[in-house]
A and B are shown apart, each in its own frame.
Chain A
Amino acid sequence: MPEFRYSNIEREMEVYGYDSYVKSHCRMCHGGCGVIVYVKDGKVAKIAGDPDCPINHGTLCTKGLASAQLAYHPDRLTYPVKRVGPEASGHWERISWDEALDTIAERILRYKEKYGPESIVFGYGTGRENEAVIYRIANYLGSPNVLTAGHFCYGPRICTGIITCGTNPIADYENFPKCIMMWGNNVTISNPDEYKGEPFSLALDHGAKLIVVDPKLTRPAARAEVWLQLRPGTDGALALGMLHVIINEGLYDKEFVENYTYGWDPFIKRVNEYPPERVEQITWVPKEKIREAARLFATTKPAAIQWGVAIEQQTNCADNDRLLMSLMGITGNIDAPGGQVLNRTPNIVNVGQFGAHGALPRDQFAKRLGGDRFRLASRFAILQPKCVWDAILEEKPYPVKMLFLVSSNPVMTRANAKEVYRALEKVEFMAVADFFLTPTAELADIVLPSATWLEMDYIGDFWKRHGYILPRRKVVQIGECRSDHEILNDLARRIGQGPYWWDSFEQALDYILHPMGITWKDFKKMNYIRGEVKYYKYKEGGFSTPTRKFELYSTVLEKLGYDPLPGYREPSESPVSTPELFKEYPYILITGARLPGFFHTENRQLQWLRQLHKDPVVEIHPDAAAKERIREGDWVIIESPRGRIRQRARLTLGRDPRIVSAEHAWWFPEMKAPGHGWEESNINLLTDNAMESCDPAMGASNVRTLLCKISPERGDGDQP
């Protein structure tokens, strides 16, 4: 009898008779986890976590485990198609790669000639490690317009991180923080870029004290030392209140503040506008709890903040990020082991260089859509989506004629879905690369079959800021699918960008790695490469900011014409900012909480994952449900000033009775009609994308905090 051993590759091979195994790097979310892929008869047979990977230590999430169900799904697109009927008619015809790419190339050249390269918008959804090739082709084309989720997801952390302290500060679980403040986030079931749940969990097992800021009672909130159950959208005010306590009780790191920060005096003045008494009124959090959390965070060293996207999809987006960084900074936790580290990536051609931002001519840069309005976003090549919809629908400030969307489903994931749908219907030509014919792809002219992570070679976590890169090794070829990188490499050569691209994409990987003196073939033999590990780097050269200091007062924002100090803005729609509307829509609607198994709009086709969540669910407090005559399991109509949708009621005490929490990104691949039910439960039929509701610097749409009313779907005649 052999000894039991975790992740016993040799024994698995013997017992199950697998032919081989490949160590690779999963990308069912943004990427991150090392995996072992077992192969039998040329097919993926089993997927497990790689115990040698420093990111996940052998553990793996639901999505990673179910990757083979994605790769081999019968509905998957495995060859290029062109639409042969009207939009959303569901009539498609198989075409060759040459016909598909030549058609797209011809359109690009035609629109470039007639309307300028800015009339062609490339885009991707959330980060899927294809961003560098997409920016590269756009920049060499001369189009300043790449449509991403960067205005309200991760982009704000990058932009505000760079202007505050040179990069995005990453919670350092490796060195076991003694205190973790989890803010609007649940890393145990979500995927906030650099982070995985396992290292967070290990840090708690090593005794870290936990503070959770969340309107919802998550399991981390239930386990926390202090749970701050704030009014949704008031994160900025709460952070200011905590800063007030830390500064006025002298709990900040005086040496750090004195030597390494910029703008301390005006910063204190701003913070002093937010004493805990006032913050309690704004946030609903008792002032004693604000003090308790602030003291615990400031006096336990090292401490880290686990942050994520929730604070960014708000009107106060950029300032929320800056306020959390201020908390990290003035407590001396920046670049401290077990605090918030400014990691160094390995010495490779980085994402910015590969993206060829320097190749975009200045006059084309000046044409970036929304560039005058959302000036911080624009500086970092990020667009506000409404600017694109307006340019398509109203041709202002100039017409956008073509979209090329890679792994993006904006009909489901961008605010004001009706407007998005109208724009995608109207745009003259649209190409999409994706796994399935999604509600967005159904509107395209040509759809290209994208490879999953199992079907590509790539440098995993190339774009992340945790300091690692890991080889993603191709395991199988499925149909005619190609990686997004190969697709764009091929397309670029067809529009005259040959000199900037490669005969095969493997050469691009060699190019990325060349500063280290290695090739892709060398890297494939390695487990990972890590950048230099060093703490307190600012003590030698300062921070990579204009003042070389940690900028509590941002000189960059000042130059761009914004308030240089972080502050608090009410959500664009709330009991406070729109009291009249609140009378008709008496609940605060929060959206977008993550679900195990799904990644935004993805994976609802996969049986192993869909069985975890059959229907979209809206969570309601029992008191509110009783008032509205809603029972557990009822279909509920949720209505905002923009529209109405249906989701199923789950009654729970874990929310304030004034709050309703609905799920996002729901469509129904099992509905075979081309719309796939995109209008049934799509939260973005309720969200608002008015420019005035956005964060002024980043253009973040406020999709997390709205007002709504709820009612049972059954007719009035039904007895509850």
Chain B
Amino acid sequence: MKRYALIIEEYACWGCRACEVACQQEFNPIEATNGVKYLSVWPDGPRLMNGKLDFIWRVNVCRHCDDPACMNACPAEAITKRRDGIVVLESDKCTGCQLCMDECPYQAIHYDAQRKTAAKCNLCYHRVDQGLYPACADNVCLAHCIYFGDPSDIEQKIIEKRKRRGGWGDILPKELRISRE
């Protein structure tokens, strides 16, 4: 069984938000006058930490949880977890009741007002199944901080990068793991 993970090293994120627009480009037509957001970058801070002002960008996106609260909450069975771990929300089956949004501990599910359904990141399974990187992870990020691939390879890469930087930073990488055949 080959494992894959989407890992975002938030320490390195500059808040340029290219990943957000890459996601928009993948899912919203060019002609769209409004669109739904699966991924968002937000400022955490500035705040005082140990007498020093600190500030970091965070990336919020579906965690594809092991035991997804959203899936259990959905009365329409529109949310399923694939064998490889990707949690998929099928908008065709969604009735728009928004129970999943209330249950998600990460506020990672949004309401698509046009289609009147819930919407979230399905980890670009339509791309991943075809051997393409998820839109946000396909070499868009100028900090090269969005990784997709074998989690132990990625961890090794991040460790090496941190060594070269001469510092580890205080922030552990966020990991969104899925596993695949």
Once A61-B16, A654-B53 are accepted as A-B contacts, the answer to whether A608 and B166 lie under 8 Å apart by CB is: no
Top 4 A-B residue pairs of the complex, sorted by shortest distance between their CB atoms: A188-B14, A2-B131, A654-B46, A6-B139
CB-CB contacts below 8 Å: B99-141 with A: 127, 130-133, 138-141
B-binding segment of A64-72, A236-244, A694-702: A64-72
**Which of A8, A198, A607, A608 has a CB less than 8 Å from the CB of B142?**
A198
CB-CB contacts below 8 Å: B129-181 with A: 130-133, 138-144, 148-149, 161, 164-166
B76-87: CB near A (< 8 Å → 1, else 0) gives: 000000000000
Taking a contact as CB atoms under 8 Å apart, the answer to whether A219 and B139 are in contact is no
Q: Can you list 26 A-B pairs, Cβ within 8 angstroms, ordered by A? A: A3-B131, A4-B133, A11-B132, A15-B132, A51-B139, A57-B139, A58-B139, A61-B16, A62-B18, A66-B21, A69-B30, A74-B31, A188-B14, A202-B144, A207-B164, A596-B18, A607-B24, A607-B28, A607-B35, A608-B24, A608-B32, A611-B24, A611-B34, A653-B45, A653-B47, A653-B48
CB of A669 to closest CB in B, whole Å: 12
Residues in A with CB closer than 8 Å to B16 are: 61-62, 188-189, 197, 596
Residues in B with CB closer than 8 Å to A597 are: 17, 21
A672 to B64 alpha-carbon distance, docked (Å): 43
Taking a contact as CB atoms under 8 Å apart, the answer to whether B139 and A49 are in contact is yes
Residues in A with CB closer than 8 Å to B14 are: 188-189, 197, 201, 219-220
Interface: A7 (CB within 8 A): yes
Once A201-B12, A222-B54 are accepted as A-B contacts, the answer to whether A4 and B131 lie under 8 Å apart by CB is: yes
Residues in A with CB closer than 8 Å to B55 are: 217-219, 221-222, 654
Interface: B95 (CB within 8 A): no
New contact pairs (8) apart from A197-B16, A611-B34, CB-CB < 8 Å: A48-B140, A61-B16, A74-B31, A201-B144, A219-B55, A222-B45, A607-B35, A608-B25
Interface: B63 (CB within 8 A): no
Taking a contact as CB atoms under 8 Å apart, the answer to whether B132 and A197 are in contact is no
CB of A519 to closest CB in B, whole Å: 32
B5-22: CB near A (< 8 Å → 1, else 0) gives: 000000011111110111
Interface of A is mostly: loop
Interface: A509 (CB within 8 A): no
A170-211: CB near B (< 8 Å → 1, else 0) gives: 000000000000000000110000001110011011110100
Taking a contact as CB atoms under 8 Å apart, the answer to whether B21 and A609 are in contact is yes
Chain B residue at minimal CB-CB distance from A198? B142
Once A61-B16, A197-B142, A596-B16 are accepted as A-B contacts, the answer to whether A47 and B25 lie under 8 Å apart by CB is: yes
B127, B139, B165: most-surrounded residue (chain A CB, <10 A): B139
CB of B135 to closest CB in A, whole Å: 9
Residues in B with CB closer than 8 Å to A68 are: 30
CB of A69 to closest CB in B, whole Å: 6
CB-CB contacts below 8 Å: B37-70 with A: 37, 45-48, 53-57
A51 to B18 alpha-carbon distance, docked (Å): 16
Taking a contact as CB atoms under 8 Å apart, the answer to whether A608 and B46 are in contact is no
**Which of A4, A58, A74 has a CB less than 8 Å from the CB of B148?**
A4
Taking a contact as CB atoms under 8 Å apart, the answer to whether B25 and A59 are in contact is no
Chain A residue at minimal CB-CB distance from B128? A4
A65, A68, A74: most-surrounded residue (chain B CB, <10 A): A65
CB of A268 to closest CB in B, whole Å: 34
A197 to B144 alpha-carbon distance, docked (Å): 11
Taking a contact as CB atoms under 8 Å apart, the answer to whether B142 and A61 are in contact is yes
Using a CB–CB cutoff of 8 Å, the interface residues on chain A facing chain B are 1-4, 6-8, 11-12, 15, 44, 46-49, 51, 56-62, 65-66, 68-69, 72, 74, 188-189, 196-198, 201-202, 204-207, 209, 217-222, 596-597, 607-609, 611-612, 652-654
Residues in B with CB closer than 8 Å to A15 are: 127, 130, 132
Chain A residue at minimal CB-CB distance from B163? A207
Taking a contact as CB atoms under 8 Å apart, the answer to whether A189 and B15 are in contact is yes
A221 to B28 alpha-carbon distance, docked (Å): 34
Residues in B with CB closer than 8 Å to A48 are: 138-140
Once A597-B21, A607-B34 are accepted as A-B contacts, the answer to whether A60 and B46 lie under 8 Å apart by CB is: no
Residues in B with CB closer than 8 Å to A65 are: 18, 21-22, 24-25, 140
Residues in A with CB closer than 8 Å to B47 are: 653
CB of B24 to closest CB in A, whole Å: 4
Taking a contact as CB atoms under 8 Å apart, the answer to whether B130 and A11 are in contact is yes
A59 to B137 alpha-carbon distance, docked (Å): 10
CB of A475 to closest CB in B, whole Å: 14
A124 to B120 alpha-carbon distance, docked (Å): 43
Taking a contact as CB atoms under 8 Å apart, the answer to whether A6 and B133 are in contact is yes
Chain B residue at minimal CB-CB distance from A61? B18
A197 to B56 alpha-carbon distance, docked (Å): 17
Chain B residue at minimal CB-CB distance from A189? B16
Taking a contact as CB atoms under 8 Å apart, the answer to whether A612 and B35 are in contact is no
Once A204-B165, A217-B46, A611-B37 are accepted as A-B contacts, the answer to whether A8 and B21 lie under 8 Å apart by CB is: no
Chain A residue at minimal CB-CB distance from B148? A4
A81 to B140 alpha-carbon distance, docked (Å): 38
Residues in B with CB closer than 8 Å to A219 are: 13-15, 55-57
A608 to B19 alpha-carbon distance, docked (Å): 11
Taking a contact as CB atoms under 8 Å apart, the answer to whether A205 and B165 are in contact is yes
A58 to B133 alpha-carbon distance, docked (Å): 14
A70 to B28 alpha-carbon distance, docked (Å): 14
Residues in A with CB closer than 8 Å to B141 are: 59
Chain B residue at minimal CB-CB distance from A220? B14
Chain B residue at minimal CB-CB distance from A62? B21
Chain B residue at minimal CB-CB distance from A68? B30
Residues in B with CB closer than 8 Å to A4 are: 131-133, 148-149
CB of A301 to closest CB in B, whole Å: 16
Once A61-B16, A72-B30, A189-B16 are accepted as A-B contacts, the answer to whether A12 and B132 lie under 8 Å apart by CB is: yes
CB of B110 to closest CB in A, whole Å: 12
Taking a contact as CB atoms under 8 Å apart, the answer to whether A607 and B165 are in contact is no
Residues in B with CB closer than 8 Å to A207 are: 164-166
Residues in B with CB closer than 8 Å to A188 are: 14-16, 142-143
CB of A8 to closest CB in B, whole Å: 6
Taking a contact as CB atoms under 8 Å apart, the answer to whether A59 and B17 are in contact is no
Residues in B with CB closer than 8 Å to A653 are: 45-48, 53
**Which of B140, B149, B164 has a CB less than 8 Å from the CB of A206?**
B164
Residues in A with CB closer than 8 Å to B32 are: 607-608
A3, A46, A201: most-surrounded residue (chain B CB, <10 A): A201
Taking a contact as CB atoms under 8 Å apart, the answer to whether B46 and A222 are in contact is yes
Chain A residue at minimal CB-CB distance from B143? A201
Residues in B with CB closer than 8 Å to A46 are: 25
CB of B144 to closest CB in A, whole Å: 7
CB of B44 to closest CB in A, whole Å: 10
Once A72-B30, A607-B33, A609-B21 are accepted as A-B contacts, the answer to whether A205 and B164 lie under 8 Å apart by CB is: yes
CB of B32 to closest CB in A, whole Å: 6
Residues in B with CB closer than 8 Å to A217 are: 46, 53, 55
Taking a contact as CB atoms under 8 Å apart, the answer to whether B166 and A222 are in contact is no
Taking a contact as CB atoms under 8 Å apart, the answer to whether B142 and A201 are in contact is yes
A564 to B103 alpha-carbon distance, docked (Å): 68
Taking a contact as CB atoms under 8 Å apart, the answer to whether A205 and B149 are in contact is no
A205 to B162 alpha-carbon distance, docked (Å): 7
A515 to B131 alpha-carbon distance, docked (Å): 45
B35, B56, B144: most-surrounded residue (chain A CB, <10 A): B144
A49 to B17 alpha-carbon distance, docked (Å): 15
A555 to B127 alpha-carbon distance, docked (Å): 61
A209 to B167 alpha-carbon distance, docked (Å): 10
Taking a contact as CB atoms under 8 Å apart, the answer to whether A59 and B140 are in contact is yes
CB of A134 to closest CB in B, whole Å: 31
Residues in B with CB closer than 8 Å to A197 are: 14, 16, 142-143
Residues in B with CB closer than 8 Å to A74 are: 31
Residues in B with CB closer than 8 Å to A8 are: 131-133
